Amino acid sequence: MKILIVDDELSNRMILSAILKKEGYSVVSAVNGQEAIEVFQREEPDLVLMDIMMPVMDGYEATQKIKALSQEKFTPIIFLTAMTDDQALRRCVDVGGDDFLSKPYNKVIIKAKIDALERMSQLYNTVYKQKRELVAHQEHESKEQEVARKVFDSILNPGCLSAENIKLHLSPISLFNGDVVLAAVKPTGGLHVLFGDFTGHGLAASLGALPLSDVFYSMTAKGYSIHDVVREINRKLKHQLPTGMFLAACLVEIDTINNILKYWNGAIPAAWLHKGNSVVELKSRHLPLGILDDSSFSDKVDIIKINDNDKVILSTDGILEAENSSGEMFGVERFTNCLQVNMNNTDSADKDSKIDLFEHILDTLDNFIQGQEQSDDVTLGVISCDMAYINQLASQRGSYKKFVPTHWEFELLFYYDCIKTIDPVPLINQIMGEIQGHQIQQDKLSTVLTELFCNALDHGLLGLDSSIKSSPEGFMQFYTDKEERLNKLDSGSIKISVKNIPNNTGGDLFIIFEDSGQGFDVSSLEKTQTDKESPLFSGRGLSLIKNYCQSVSFNDTGNRVECIYSWSNS
């Protein structure tokens, strides 16, 4: 241990030096405060014995400057004094002194005080070293987490969360978030949105989002409906998540072809549809994802008729369970009261006077909690059911690798039991994408394939009558009847043939759908397309097919339809 003696009296320096050297300490000295600072900087002693009254610079000022030079290293300073004045001793402490030595010196007391301060110094410097190591570790971990966060974001957000019709608030309690929000458009122009809340918080809760996003985005891009998506997500999470970890989630599909909202809710408590002058709860009817095995799992979705001005409001339980200073929760009642805004102001011409629903919910929450620290991840989303804008999103999905147009043909035959579990349209899109590239999976083509399959299934195998969709009640009854008849279906098949003939700009697809049903009156269906009194909710599929295809022809019984669809690789 190296000790600096600062005293203008030579005798004092010699006495102290002799005592300290005898005890095995290394000694350096200075004759005044100014010299003490210079020696301190040069020798970096472990302890300083400081006289008070000295020329050039006294001990008070020298002590302050030495303490400033020490920065975060603890260097004890013991004042050497013969003074007994309380104010003078107090000043020694105020300027940074750690102890006193009274003159004349007692070597036993000197040794005891130095040993005590040496132990204190070692403890302080050990803590300081550990603090620096901890700070360095935290900085390193923070950088690694930031890199991981960017990787997570790139994996979880390749969809359309930044779309103008989606307003989103994410407030995690840590860098990684147990809440997850995914959104993507379908090839047919529909929109899929998933709001989920994994058990727990932080990194462990976030890891489950990786297999979740993989299934969600890949199946949506291929055109699968949410009942197929949610079943596959459950299957994958059940297989990959540890016991006790699961995902409360609500999946929503905005179907822009039929103007309907399909949803599957598994334990998300705050899910609503704002319909201008009314609010419909998207009730939870299922267990969270990742709990049940495939045989026990239900992928049944609920269906609601929607309009362009309707809004879907989704939130995880972080908002409902947010507490104010009194420990009172925000709760469902306050949340639903927020949704009553604009109920008496539905005139589209008065848009400027309407209150923004998204901002209104967040402002109400902020006023309630009044700065209280959040105890859970808080996530809120408001999605506008703007059909035209959603279809526009689908057409802007981005460019794909272009393939040279080639000759190819395939035929698929689906029997009744297979039709109950498989949607052929995403499969056909996938096959064509593998053969011809993604530029052939245009939005209009996917719409044509979807309508052709629904025509073969609904009217051919199931014998449903679209005319019952002439009212909102009949519209819902149509889908109820469809589900019941499909479950009871015990025979029948649908054959699908697709052939591509390349040309200078792309190709012509010759598409044939043939079902084994009794068929229907084609002339009566075509008549509804030109009849101004025809039902609002039915008969639109044939119009879409005719608008998008170069030619459409049915056989006499209506159970076989041939279309020519031209596509471009430009």
Ranges for all domains in the chain classified under CATH 3.40.50.2300:
2-127
Q: How far apart are CA 458 and CA 479, in angstroms?
A: 10
pLDDT at 398: 45
What homologous superfamily is domain 157-346+354-394 in, according to CATH? PPM-type phosphatase domain (3.60.40.10)
Cis peptide before 288 (omega within 30 of 0): no
Q: How far apart are CA 172 and CA 153, in angstroms?
A: 14
Question: Does 3.30.43.10 match the CATH number of domain 2-127?
Answer: no
What letter would DSSP give residue 348?
A: G
Ranges for all domains in the chain classified under CATH 3.30.565.10:
399-568
Q: Residue 8 CA to chain centroid, in angstroms?
A: 70
Q: Return the number of other C-beta atoms located less than 10 Å from residue 160's C-beta.
A: 21
The CATH number of 399-568 is which of 3.30.1330.20, 3.40.50.1100, 3.30.565.10, 3.40.1440.60? Answer: 3.30.565.10
pLDDT at 537: 43
CA distances from residue 161 to 180, 269, 541 in whole angstroms, order as listed: 11, 22, 30
Q: How far apart are CA 23 and CA 25, in angstroms?
A: 6
Strand order of the β-sheet with 77-81 is: 26-30, 2-6, 47-51, 77-81, 99-102
DSSP assignments along 411-477, one per residue: EEEEEHHHHTT--HHHHHHHHHHHHH-GGG--HHHHHHHHHHHHIIIIIIIS---GGGGGSHHHHHH
CA distances from residue 334 to 97, 327, 372 in whole angstroms, order as listed: 59, 15, 17
Q: How far apart are CA 114 and CA 112, in angstroms?
A: 6
With 0-12 / 13-18 / 19 or more C-beta atoms within 10 angstroms meaning exposed / middle / buried, residue 1 is middle
Residue 308, CA atoms < 13 Å, CB-side half-sphere: 7
Question: Tokens 């804008």 label which residue?
Answer: 389
Q: Return the number of other C-beta atoms located less than 10 Å from residue 241's C-beta.
A: 20
Largest interatomic CA distance in the chain: 127
Q: How far apart are CA 508 and CA 502, in angstroms?
A: 6
Ranges for all domains in the chain classified under CATH 3.60.40.10:
157-346+354-394
All residues at 6 or more sequence positions from 44 whose CB lies less than 8 Å from its CB, including other chains: 2
pLDDT at 383: 96
- Report helix, strand or coil for 24: coil
The DSSP element (H or E) to which 270 belongs, if any, is: strand 270-274
Q: Residue 346 CA to chain centroid, in angstroms?
A: 32
Residue type, 418: C
Question: Tokens 């919910």 label which residue?
Answer: 361
Contact (Cβ atoms closer than 8 angstroms) between residue 195 and residue 272: no
pLDDT at 551: 93
- Calculate ∠ Cα 132-138-142, nearest 5°: 145
Q: Mind listing the pLDDT tens digit of every residue in the chain (570 residues)?
A: 899 999 999 988 999 999 999 989 999 999 999 999 999 999 989 999 999 889 999 989 999 999 888 877 888 999 888 766 777 778 888 888 888 887 778 888 888 888 888 888 888 888 888 888 888 888 877 776 676 667 666 666 667 888 999 999 988 777 677 788 999 998 777 899 999 999 876 666 677 788 898 899 989 888 888 999 999 999 999 998 888 889 999 999 999 888 999 999 999 988 999 997 899 999 999 999 999 999 999 999 999 999 999 999 999 888 999 999 888 999 999 999 999 887 765 444 455 567 899 999 999 999 999 888 887 888 999 999 999 899 888 766 544 445 688 999 999 999 999 999 888 988 898 888 788 876 676 678 888 999 999 989 998 999 988 888 777 788 888 888 999 999 999 999 999 999 999 988 889 999 999 999 987 766 765 555 555 444 444 556 778 888 889 999 999 888 999 999 998 866
Residue type, 1: M
Contact (Cβ atoms closer than 8 angstroms) between residue 71 and residue 103: no
CB burial readout 423-441, b (16+ within 10 A) else e = bbbbbbbbebbeebbbbbb
